[in-house]
Structure 1
Amino acid sequence: MSIFLGIFTFMCLFPFAYVILISFTSEESIVRNGFQIIPEAWSLDAYRYLWHMKDQLFQSYGITILITVVGTVISVMMVTFYSYAISRQQFKYRRFFTMFAFFTMLFSGGMVPTYIVATQFLHIKDTIWALILPLAMNAFYIIIMRTFFIRSVPESILESARIDGAGELRSFFQIVFPLSLPGIATIALFSTLGYWNDWFQALLYIENPSLIPLQSLLMKIEANMEFMRQNTEISAMQSSLFDTIPADAAKMAMVVIATLPIAVSYPFFQKYFISGLTIGGVKE
């Protein structure tokens, strides 16, 4: 069993380690020998190429960190409040709001109505909120937290708090919230990954260069490199410039830049994440 787990762990970690190795490989070596586990020639050209865009990269990093932190907090609060309400027996409209959330998992208005609501009614186009609000509420997270609240927060504890004079908000923050950290950490991790990796909202709503998040910026950089590679006319006109671009190595470097921060932060969530995934695993 330990050997199997070791092999599985290696299979999970090797692709990312391989990407890191390729990002430090010289472009000439990649062109001549293809991708190798042990590069023939090491180089920092890919990172030097990206460093020339450091101002925009750092700005996009800041935007991504901002929307990830703020968006995760807003998403967690909205999801937990909604889930807590529909998990309590004394809330007489819980069935309606449960089906209301579940219905959105099966059917959605589509891209065009969503765009119209965001731009014509909410007026959030080209603002930071266009990167936060569309992803703030998720019906799947609501169902997860509803199940967690039902199984992990006994009604007797809340009843005792009400007898002592605690209101709903005080009961939630002082009793429910501490008991629900595994479930909250689980949806917080899902939300963090969603915000960090999102590029589609920027494609739809953002035109201001100062609001472009990291993933969208990296996609534009990659698209520009591909355009220069495929357009033979431009390549002929600017051959000296094009030859200095470490295209393949730069792509891997972009993967490292985009993935490494979230990969490093994952171990801090792991304990709660595993606990949250076992919700409902034991039947009493």
Structure 2
Amino acid sequence: MNAKLNAVTPLPPASHTRIRENSLVAQILIHCFFVLACAACLIPLILVAIVSFSDEQSILANGYSFFPDKFSLDAYRYLLGDSQRLIHAYGISILVTVVGTLTSLLITSLLAYPLSRKDFPQRNLLAFFVFFTILFNGGLVPWYLVYTNLFHIKDTILALLVPNLLMSGFYILIMRTFFSNSIPGSIIESAQIDGAGEWRTFFRLVLPLSLPVLATIGLFTTLGYWNDWFNSLVFIYDNRLISLQYLMTKTLLSIQFLQSNTQNSNTGKLLSEMPTETVRMAMAIIGIGPIVMAYPFFQKYLVKGLTVGAVKG
């Protein structure tokens, strides 16, 4: 009896004070850690933005600095010299990113949902084929020949949508795990009892309950489409179809080519007037702008979609 009384005896006030102090110290340390981590992410971005608005000669003389001697818009004037081409490339990138992300989410969810259903025959075999594509691929040359000689998508907008980006086995497995662990089978059975077919159940019930994983996969797919320049390099020869990232890459390669051929007097004069260092930073700012603004809208779903889809509840 005495042992039970001692077991439920409340802690003295001094112990509560120590616990609160330790908790406060822990919270301060955690906040300091995240402040430092946030600063480590933001400071390089701020430096890139400042350098892009700096004068080229001050950068060459003093290096990168948060407090440049002179600000200048020469880098942006150089990039916007052919503004029509830049705006067109922006339009291509936005179109490909929006259409590709929505199509990818639809196809991925349509494949992941049957794999999550225990009553789907041969689902393990099909899941193995999906997993196999993560481990092995046919190589660059067969990949190119299939899309050019079999599907004939060279120099079309499909070349920016389909290869490598439209469907990923890794995203399919993440979405399948989310469907398996987060969509109760009883809800699907109730819908079937009420007379709902498979399509109606999927679009009216499963997808609305899967916003976290859809937003997470959608964010990753959006980043993949927006940052892609390789498909434009390999498949696109028409300058009207190149993406923004490839246009920036071509500009950077042109600058590097000019720098490697400074023996020519005309080239040397051109390089002396060209803001080469600040142009690199301006291209980074122009390229990441839309994604930086879109990311906060996905952030609240990002962690939830990954954790719920990866940990069995």
**Fold conserved (TM > 0.5)?**
yes
Counterpart residue identity of residue 125, structure 1: K
Matched with 1:21 is 50
Counterpart residue identity of residue 242, structure 2: I
Matched with 2:155 is 126
> How far apart are residue 281 of structure 1 and its match?
6.1
| In 2, Cα distance between equivalents of 1:12 and 1:280 | 27
Matched with 2:243 is 213
Matched with 1:165 is 195
- Percentage of matched positions with identical amino acids: 49
Change (3 A) 1:280 1:215: closer
Q: Kindly indicate whether residue 277 of structure 2 is the aligned counterpart of residue 261 of structure 1.
A: no
For 1:55, which of 84, 106, 129 is the aligned residue?
84
Counterpart residue identity of residue 174, structure 2: I
Matched with 1:181 is 211
For 1:41, which of 67, 70, 91 is the aligned residue?
70
Matched with 1:77 is 106
Matched with 2:301 is 272
Q: Kindly indicate whether residue 122 of structure 2 is the aligned counterpart of residue 99 of structure 1.
A: no
**1:110-156 deviation line (CA, Å, top 9, x unaligned):** 11111111011111000000000111010000010000000110111
Q: What is the TM-score when the length of structure 1 is the normalising length?
A: 0.97
Matched with 1:136 is 166
| In 1, Cα distance between equivalents of 2:40 and 2:274 | 31
> How far apart are residue 79 of structure 1 and its match?
0.5
Q: Kindly indicate whether residue 81 of structure 2 is the aligned counterpart of residue 31 of structure 1.
A: no
> How far apart are residue 238 of structure 1 and its match?
3.7
Q: Kindly indicate whether residue 198 of structure 2 is the aligned counterpart of residue 198 of structure 1.
A: no
> How far apart are residue 26 of structure 1 and its match?
0.3
Matched with 1:227 is 257
Matched with 1:145 is 175
| In 2, Cα distance between equivalents of 1:237 and 1:196 | 36
Counterpart residue identity of residue 15, structure 1: P
| In 1, Cα distance between equivalents of 2:132 and 2:267 | 54
Number of residue pairs matched? Answer: 283
Contact in 1 for aligned 2:178/2:310 (Cα 8 Å): no
| In 1, Cα distance between equivalents of 2:262 and 2:286 | 29
Counterpart residue identity of residue 173, structure 1: F
| Runs of 5+ consecutive residues of structure 2 not aligned to the other structure | 1-29
| In 2, Cα distance between equivalents of 1:70 and 1:278 | 27
> How far apart are residue 51 of structure 1 and its match?
1.0
> How far apart are residue 280 of structure 1 and its match?
5.0
Counterpart residue identity of residue 270, structure 1: Q
**1:62-93 deviation line (CA, Å, top 9, x unaligned):** 00001000000111011001000110011102
Contact in 1 for aligned 2:52/2:75 (Cα 8 Å): yes
Counterpart residue identity of residue 8, structure 1: A
Q: Kindly indicate whether residue 138 of structure 2 is the aligned counterpart of residue 114 of structure 1.
A: no
> How far apart are residue 283 of structure 1 and its match?
4.8
| In 2, Cα distance between equivalents of 1:17 and 1:260 | 13
**1:240-283 deviation line (CA, Å, top 9, x unaligned):** 33222100001100000001110111000001112112125655
3-state SS of 1:35 partner: coil
Q: Kindly indicate whether residue 39 of structure 2 is the aligned counterpart of residue 10 of structure 1.
A: yes
Change (3 A) 1:43 1:78: same
Counterpart residue identity of residue 176, structure 1: V
> How far apart are residue 204 of structure 1 and its match?
0.8
3-state SS of 2:196 partner: coil
> How far apart are residue 239 of structure 1 and its match?
3.5
Change (3 A) 1:105 1:283: closer
Structure 1 vs Structure 2 CA RMSD: 1.1
| In 2, Cα distance between equivalents of 1:97 and 1:78 | 15
> How far apart are residue 230 of structure 1 and its match?
1.6
